Amino acid sequence: MRRATSKKKPEEKDSGGKAKRSWILRLNPKGQATIPLEVRRMLGVGGECRELELRATAAGLLLLPHKPPLPVGRYVGYCAEELKDVDDAVAFVRRLRGRPAETPAE
């Protein structure tokens, strides 16, 4: 009888037995680096969030997920007269799309 084996790699540990908290990144000739999958998962990036913010602090560098603000600010004031009676923007857009206004968020 064969034993079932796991293809999952064992979590790397440092000398203190804790989970690994540092990684070595290599730069290609263009100065680009690949962020390890484990780090991307810890940051929650990938899928729809594909930007990272690298922030310099007194303690060192901080890598954070970055979600740019929506460009709605550029359109504030457009059609203001036509939309002055709109109370619920989400319901209004759903009606424009031909959907019932009370359907759950998309």
pLDDT in tens, 49-79: 678 889 999 999 888 888 777 776 677 677 7
The total domain count for the chain is: 1
Assess if residue 44 is contained within a domain.
yes
- Look at residue 31 and tell me if it is in a domain: no
**Is residue 55 in some structural domain?**
yes
Asked whether residue 81 is assigned to any structural domain, the reply reads: no
Condensed to tens digits (0 to 9), the pLDDT of residues 15-40 reads 555 667 888 888 999 999 888 888 88
Q: Is residue 50 part of a domain?
A: yes
Instruction: Please report whether residue 45 resides in a domain.
Output: yes
Q: What residues make up the domain containing 44?
A: 37-66
Output the CA–CA distances (angstroms, integers) from residue 66 to 34, 43, 62, 72, 89, in the order listed: 17, 10, 12, 17, 26
In a domain, 42, yes or no: yes
Whether the model pTM is above 0.85: no
SS3 state of residue 72: helix
More confident residue, 92 or 101: 92
